[in-house]
Structure 1
Amino acid sequence: MAHCNVCRCCLAQGLHKDLNSSYLWLDKTEIYADMMLECFSIVLSPSAHISSGICDTCVSTLRASLAFKRMVLQSEQELITRAQDLDIKPKVKVELTENSGGDDSDDYFLADAGNGDVPKITIKKKKTRTLIISPECNSQPKVNLMWTAHMNLDKRKHKDNLRTILQYSNVLPFKNKSLLGYMCGYCDATYPDPVDLRAHTEADHEEERLNFKSNFDMTEYNVQVDISDLTCTLCNEKMENLNVLKDHLVKIHKKIIYNDIKDHIIQFRLKKGDVYDCIMCSATYETFKMLKQHMNVHYGNYTCSKCDSAFATKRSLNAHRSTHQEGSFKCEHCEKVFASRAKKQYHEKTKHLGARNISNCPFCNEPFRSYYQRNQHLVKVHNSEAQYKCNVCNKAYILKSLLMYHIKKNHLMERNAQCTECGYRFFSKKALKAHMVKHTGERNYQCEVCQKSYARKYTLREHMRIHNNDRRFKCAICSMSFVQKCSLKSHLLSNHGISMAASDITTTEPEKELPLNDASKDS
């Protein structure tokens, strides 16, 4: 089998999928070599010395290209069928372009579509595009691909709406928000302050303003715009939001805005800081990613038929649907089995195919496998602050999930897991499971030195410090050191008259990593 460490299409290094193997994607079987043949008529030379891999980026491009070709052919057939049904006879006829070698066009089937009964179709020259692929070998014939550019009506309306808004208002399009700030919609420049982003866009991209994402498929993706200080540039009147602006342009300035299509222009009011407010309701979030996910509530263009979750784009809905595909899904690279296809695919990408959905450190470009590792690195190496702070007790956390864990456990006092033996309630199932050893008497963790057994792994780990003479708890008054925290606590009380809570006693050994705080132990 050929090696797959180099992508055959873009030469990217890594562990990639095989072009000639079959894969499942949204319940459809894909063989990428066959897809390339169908889409581009490309046949790659088989060789044991040449990689047969294809990276995820090229797979996505190939899917989109093939889907576009199929859509064009389907639209062509649909238009011909409509013309037949309505008995419309437009002045249309097919003309083959003249080629020096007498090559046949791939679009020649249009001439025979109706066997004489179909109205003749004339394709104007300016509406026809020709793609010529010339291989290096002159003996191979040229391949001429001709197709008519049929623009989907809804897509044209989307683009017209976006162009009208850009032309007659001061909205600021942007790509996304990274750790370094907001990304310019026209280039890769990034600014922490949206005021600086606006100044950059107006200074460097004014001429290309109306060309923003002109080839963008707005049924698959969203356009994000900042509407801070939103103003109609025709009359300089201030606007509250995009909906008000659209009504204003139609009623006052007689501009055309299509309201019979789904809305994919997502509006934000950007500001500098760590708090992100929804402009359509009172919701507030501590990450821009969470705010974007929330915006699906206001832009529910597509709804999941199983759980009624709403999504702004068809692409997001399709990704969500995979979470409902339950069953028994075995990893193709190891023996692990997963309850859903989405979990299995995530496992394969991250554990076996080298994929990561965590961005590198913005300061030193170091890669990470988890958000926790990256944020921990930012705090320890680059002196960044733990940005998620509790508004009750001022404790700070490097992950929002840890902050929410802390709030629910310590301030809301949630206790949803109950012991069936004694009725005692716990915050998590993990804590309940640890508690159950009191009733079962199980002692599965045995010391290899003295053969003592313990019910919990944590207790065994604490016990092992005795054998290693690990005296990490040191008295700050007399410098005596102890193996266990309880011994230091007893020493402080009996010898120095000091009573301290166990949680206030810290180790003298430097921590190797930031603690998980409340998430590390349950009670």
Structure 2
Amino acid sequence: MSEVKNEIATYFGRCKCCLSYGYLKNMWTEHQFEGESEVYGEMLVDCFALTWDSSESIDQDQICEQCVNRLRDACDFKKIVLTSQEDFYRQLGDGDDKDTIPKLEDCDEEYLMVYKEADSDTADTADTDTADMDVSVNDASACDEEYEDVEYLEDEVGGDAKEALVATSSTQAQKPKRRRKADTPTDSDDGVKRKWPKRLPKNERFKTYKQYTEENLRQCLEAVRSGEITPNDAARKYNIPKKTICAKMRLEPTEEADSNREKTFRLVREIKAILTYTNATPYKSKSIRYYCAYCSTDGPNFEDPDDLRSHTRTEHIHDRIEKIEYAMRPYWMNEVLKLDIDNLLCTVCCIVINNWNEMFRHLREKHNVHLDQAYTRVIPYVLRSDLQCALCKESFSNYMHLDGHMNAHYNNYVCDDCGVTFLAQNRLKQHVKIHNIGKYPCSMCKKVFSLEKYRRKHEETVHKQMCKFKCLYCPEKFTGEYVRHLHCLEAHKDKVKTITCEQCGKVFTWRQYYMNHMKKKHDNIRNYECDECDKKFFSNYELKDHVLRHIGKKNYECGVCHKKYYSMLALKQHGKQHRKDEKDDN
């Protein structure tokens, strides 16, 4: 039989099994291998008794080639074990009594539950911290069952509640079944007490999550491995949950994981050194707004960089060094750290540092601080009203253009199709999607788009009228930025900041208005040039209207007199004449 090759994987994303990025295959699609059909999701459920279901999101149901090979080996090994077990017991019973062969469902339920919980505990506690409970060996399985039923128990349950929980779990003869979310008891006016504490809001949920440093964890594990201290004592001394310590002790480290973890550990140490010797301000960004690195995007946002710097240097003056490691978690989502280096100076020598490269040289020569990972994973920005690149001094009209430009200075990741460089892997992942050009028709109208993201944006804004733009001052959401701006002017007029042009004194209530005014009235930046007559324009929209004049095509028709025009602007001017005539007639 001729071997049937696997189809080529064209989707770039994150594997659901090993969490690594690469070219993947869908888990619930039928694939061919050596003449047989394979559905990887069904193989996982059958082999490991997982409860995974098919997801609507394409990002969540992908598997890499390496995990596929492991899955095939696991399924083959399971078949060998089951076949050998049947043959063994058949030989004992001479092959006559089939009832003597024990089946999986006939085994002791409690015996299986202990091993099932032990396996899940090893996997779950590797990355998730849980409460530290001192229980006996006989009550371990009952305690684990109670533990899995409560999320964020360590964050929300006090010491007395923990002791009561342990006493309750140890005396129960039957393990409690997991409650459905709808059946969970809630606080009511009649004073009925909840069995479990309320779940914290999203913005407060991880405030006490992993409140220890990587260095403390390493010291703790080294002390436990050497026998100097027990896991219970280490948990109290280093403020690390005992289950986390035990899980880390059981894990077998891999060379790749150790290498990535060591690089991240060195990066955090280098960032702390930079923040110790300079006045640089770490921050995060979303669209054109700035966020405090310590408060994250759940905290306040800032339009003015001065407000961001003032907030960070007053509210987090004591957290500046210690809490920066917490701000970078999880590490796979925070590969790089953005630093505002406006008016950069050395806080020890009290001298001005003129540029980013000079800072590296100064720290190395004057303070013996040698940096390595920071060269490629700490990104400098100079946040001012007139934005310029901190490395090449190129000017930009808005922050999003500057942020995209920084990819050109770092080759941490390179696109295999076009060779464009990126500073973070998530940026490369978004870029790769533009190469998947095809025909994506709208499900509600006849429009066809070249990229999936264009179709999705069209459906959300035009047909579904999804409100994704949240007001800066209240919970209300809107379909676009302009509608949101009008709402702010009407409902929060006293909070809207005005921008005054320094050259002509004109006042603007929206930054987009101010940027367009500067570009057209004062800077006279015309980057769009006509190929026919060499005339230049401010925007691509104006250039397209101009090109229609060369073609002789008039796309804009008046609804009153049916006269046609080359541009929308000309049509609007014509419409004013009709309205004027109507007023004269009245």
Shift of the alpha carbon at 1:346?
Answer: 3.1
Alignment partner of 1:429 is 2:533: no
Change (3 A) 1:35 1:290: farther
Shift of the alpha carbon at 1:316?
Answer: 0.6
User: Structure 2-normalised TM-score?
Assistant: 0.49
Shift of the alpha carbon at 1:101?
Answer: 2.4
Shift of the alpha carbon at 1:319?
Answer: 0.6
Alignment partner of 1:173 is 2:282: yes
Measured in 1, the distance between the counterparts of 2:402 and 2:557 equals: 45
Contact kept in structure 1, 2:288 and 2:399, CA below 8 Å: no
Aligned partner of 2:404 in structure 1 is 293
Measured in 2, the distance between the counterparts of 1:463 and 1:185 equals: 53
Shift of the alpha carbon at 1:345?
Answer: 3.5
- What is the correspondence of 1:9-408 to structure 2 with a 5 Å cutoff? 29=26, 43=51, 101-102=111-112, 103-104=114-115, 138=175, 147-148=251-252, 150=254, 151-167=257-273, 168-170=276-278, 171-176=280-285, 182-186=291-295, 188-190=299-301, 192=304, 193-203=307-317, 205-206=319-320, 208-217=322-331, 221-228=335-342, 230=344, 239-241=353-355, 243-250=357-364, 253-255=367-369, 257-259=371-373, 263-271=376-384, 274-351=385-462, 359-378=469-488, 382=492, 384=496, 387=499, 399=512, 402-403=516-517, 406=520
Measured in 1, the distance between the counterparts of 2:536 and 2:357 equals: 50
Measured in 2, the distance between the counterparts of 1:169 and 1:41 equals: 53
Shift of the alpha carbon at 1:196?
Answer: 1.5
Change (3 A) 1:166 1:41: farther
2:582 is paired with a residue whose SS is: coil
- What is the correspondence of 1:357-506 to structure 2 with a 5 Å cutoff? 359-378=469-488, 382=492, 384=496, 387=499, 399=512, 402-403=516-517, 406=520, 412=526, 416=530, 418=532, 427-433=542-548, 447=560, 453-456=562-565, 470-471=582-583, 481=584
For 2:338, the aligned partner's letter is Q
For 1:329, the aligned partner's letter is Y
Contact kept in structure 2, 1:277 and 1:283, CA below 8 Å: yes
**Alignment deviations for residues 270-298 of structure 1 (CA, whole Å, 9 cap, x no partner):** 45xx3333222222334333322222222
Change (3 A) 1:327 1:262: farther
Shift of the alpha carbon at 1:331?
Answer: 3.0
Contact kept in structure 2, 1:330 and 1:337, CA below 8 Å: yes
2:317 is paired with a residue whose SS is: helix
For 1:211, the aligned partner's letter is E
Shift of the alpha carbon at 1:415?
Answer: 5.6
Measured in 2, the distance between the counterparts of 1:176 and 1:41 equals: 41
2:285 is paired with a residue whose SS is: strand
Contact kept in structure 2, 1:304 and 1:321, CA below 8 Å: yes
2:327 is paired with a residue whose SS is: coil
Measured in 1, the distance between the counterparts of 2:572 and 2:380 equals: 55
More contact order relative to length (CA 8 Å, sep ≥ 6)? 1
Measured in 2, the distance between the counterparts of 1:305 and 1:388 equals: 46
Shift of the alpha carbon at 1:302?
Answer: 2.3
Contact kept in structure 1, 2:408 and 2:421, CA below 8 Å: yes
Measured in 1, the distance between the counterparts of 2:357 and 2:351 equals: 14
Measured in 2, the distance between the counterparts of 1:409 and 1:235 equals: 39
Contact kept in structure 1, 2:377 and 2:423, CA below 8 Å: yes
1:363 is paired with a residue whose SS is: coil
Change (3 A) 1:248 1:399: closer
Contact kept in structure 1, 2:437 and 2:450, CA below 8 Å: yes
For 1:227, the aligned partner's letter is I
Shift of the alpha carbon at 1:338?
Answer: 0.9
Measured in 1, the distance between the counterparts of 2:262 and 2:464 equals: 38
1:319 is paired with a residue whose SS is: helix
Measured in 2, the distance between the counterparts of 1:446 and 1:128 equals: 64
Shift of the alpha carbon at 1:174?
Answer: 1.7
Measured in 1, the distance between the counterparts of 2:365 and 2:459 equals: 54
**Alignment deviations for residues 8-27 of structure 1 (CA, whole Å, 9 cap, x no partner):** xxxxxxxxxxxxxxxxx988
Shift of the alpha carbon at 1:402?
Answer: 4.7
Change (3 A) 1:41 1:360: farther
Contact kept in structure 1, 2:282 and 2:337, CA below 8 Å: yes
Measured in 2, the distance between the counterparts of 1:411 and 1:251 equals: 43
For 1:203, the aligned partner's letter is I
Higher helix share: 2
2:470 is paired with a residue whose SS is: coil
Change (3 A) 1:297 1:133: farther
1:203 is paired with a residue whose SS is: coil
Measured in 2, the distance between the counterparts of 1:342 and 1:389 equals: 37
Contact kept in structure 2, 1:183 and 1:189, CA below 8 Å: yes
| Deviates most, 28-37 or 232-241 | 28-37
Contact kept in structure 1, 2:292 and 2:312, CA below 8 Å: no
Change (3 A) 1:435 1:277: closer
1:43 is paired with a residue whose SS is: coil
Q: CA RMSD in A?
A: 5.7
| Deviates most, 232-241 or 30-39 | 30-39
Shift of the alpha carbon at 1:211?
Answer: 2.6
For 1:430, the aligned partner's letter is D
Shift of the alpha carbon at 1:382?
Answer: 4.9
**Alignment deviations for residues 108-163 of structure 1 (CA, whole Å, 9 cap, x no partner):** 9xxxxxxxxxxxxxx9xx9999996777794989xxx9854553413431332232
Aligned partner of 1:117 in structure 2 is none
Contact kept in structure 1, 2:292 and 2:301, CA below 8 Å: yes
Change (3 A) 1:226 1:411: closer
**Alignment deviations for residues 317-376 of structure 1 (CA, whole Å, 9 cap, x no partner):** 1211212222212234543211223322433454466656x6423134442333333345
Q: Which runs of 5+ in 2 are unaligned?
A: 1-21, 30-38, 75-108, 131-143, 150-173, 179-246
Change (3 A) 1:461 1:205: same
Shift of the alpha carbon at 1:455?
Answer: 2.4
Change (3 A) 1:189 1:443: closer
| Deviates most, 167-176 or 26-35 | 26-35
Measured in 2, the distance between the counterparts of 1:183 and 1:210 equals: 11
For 2:481, the aligned partner's letter is Y
Aligned partner of 1:9 in structure 2 is none
Shift of the alpha carbon at 1:253?
Answer: 4.8
**Alignment deviations for residues 364-412 of structure 1 (CA, whole Å, 9 cap, x no partner):** 4442333333345545665557759696997968636855884799875
Q: Which runs of 5+ in 1 are unaligned?
A: 1-24, 46-51, 78-98, 109-122, 472-480, 484-523
Change (3 A) 1:359 1:462: same
Measured in 1, the distance between the counterparts of 2:530 and 2:443 equals: 37
For 2:440, the aligned partner's letter is F
Measured in 2, the distance between the counterparts of 1:154 and 1:350 equals: 40
Change (3 A) 1:413 1:305: closer
Change (3 A) 1:253 1:180: closer
**Alignment deviations for residues 400-431 of structure 1 (CA, whole Å, 9 cap, x no partner):** 68558847998759661659xxx999952234
1:263 is paired with a residue whose SS is: helix
1:175 is paired with a residue whose SS is: strand
| Deviates most, 225-234 or 386-395 | 386-395
Paired-residue identity, %: 17
Measured in 1, the distance between the counterparts of 2:556 and 2:585 equals: 26
